[in-house]
Amino acid sequence: MRLLLTMALIGLTFIVQAQTIRVANNNANAPEGAYVYPTLQEALDAADPGDSIYVAPSPTSYGSVEVHTPVTLVGVGLFPDAESPNVSSVYRINVYNASGTRINGISNVRHIQLGINAGSAYTLSDIIIENCHFAQIRGYWNRIENIRVSNCINFSYPGQGDYSVVGLPSANVFGTIIANNIFTVGRMVTAGNNAVIKNNLFVGYGPNSNRGDWGSLDNCLVFNNIYYRRNTIYSGGTFDLNTFSNNMTFQTFPESGAMPPLGYPQQNFDGGGNLEYTDPMYGNVPVISDPYTYNYKALDLRLDPTSPALNGGTDGTDIGPTGGAFPFMLKNGGSPKGTTIPVIVETVVPAHLNEGEPLKITIKATSN
């Protein structure tokens, strides 16, 4: 959808409820202004608590950054419009003592590291990571409370190692929600302390695949997930006192698609409503032939009208990423849709401006 916005601006300062909107833009033709920065780290260093930083799409990554102040990072999203194919790429994001930070729409992030070197007495809290494309999210030494990871897609890179895609260990992480994500490679999740793992799609390597497993999982609520060619076993550590409800497994390795997972000395619970070895009847879920080049855009997550996943969740919505509290929005072809913020494709500034007149700018944008 094409949007035409006409804005009357005085200067280049945007203030919304005492929060400054800053722009990181490393493109060669980036505009200049008091709140425009050539690097993301410069924008972060200048930010005050509560500021928002728009990370402009670019063919060049913004590299590794450190977040020491609670801000909202806003990128262009997972799958920009075809007219603007660039994404907001960041290599690594280290979040220190910055409770209240929100990361939205950032792509190609190898590591999002939380609570790193901030001091053992500090509690990092209220972190939201959404609509991102990442390889790993890891909690470190600090106590971490109230973190949500939703509407994200993970990827793998050479040399990544066999780590959990989301590693939030029970020793120091509390109040975790992992919801409505698409996970394709790596161990799925390490979590504990009543973490909620719901409405995710875990994709494996092919029919009867025995690839893909949990890390340590203790005292978690696991419901409304789909394991598509992905087994449900764990690889080590502890796996105890978890409750599995209304999950679905399909084309998993024999005996590794049971709910709750079988064959372990620890005790797990069947909360009911699980559908083992059952086809969710998606339009298309490509087999992972190469974990480094998986074609997420070829996914068609539209459910057949007769799918048992339709309205089959614990809350009466769909099992899988299209249900629950944070449903994955889909494009017309059924592929995941990124954030809905518009991508500016054209800016028209008057050639002449009389002294004392407001600057009128016409901005043409396309929404994701």
Q: Write down the pLDDT at residue 99.
A: 95
Span 215-245, pLDDT tens digits = 788 899 999 999 998 877 766 678 889 999 9
The more confidently predicted of residues 31 and 8 is 31
Average pLDDT, the chain: 83
Using DSSP bridges, classify how beta strands 342-348 and 359-367 pair: parallel, antiparallel or unpaired.
Answer: antiparallel
Output Rg (C-alpha) for the chain, integer angstroms: 22
The more confidently predicted of residues 206 and 37 is 37
Q: Write down the pLDDT at residue 102.
A: 97
- Token representation of residue 24: 């990181």
Give residue limits of the domains in the chain: 46-343
Provide the Cα torsion 90, 115, 139, 157; round to 10°. 20
Do residues 61 and 108 lie in contact, with contact meaning Cβ atoms separated by under 8 Å? yes
Do residues 292 and 157 lie in contact, with contact meaning Cβ atoms separated by under 8 Å? yes
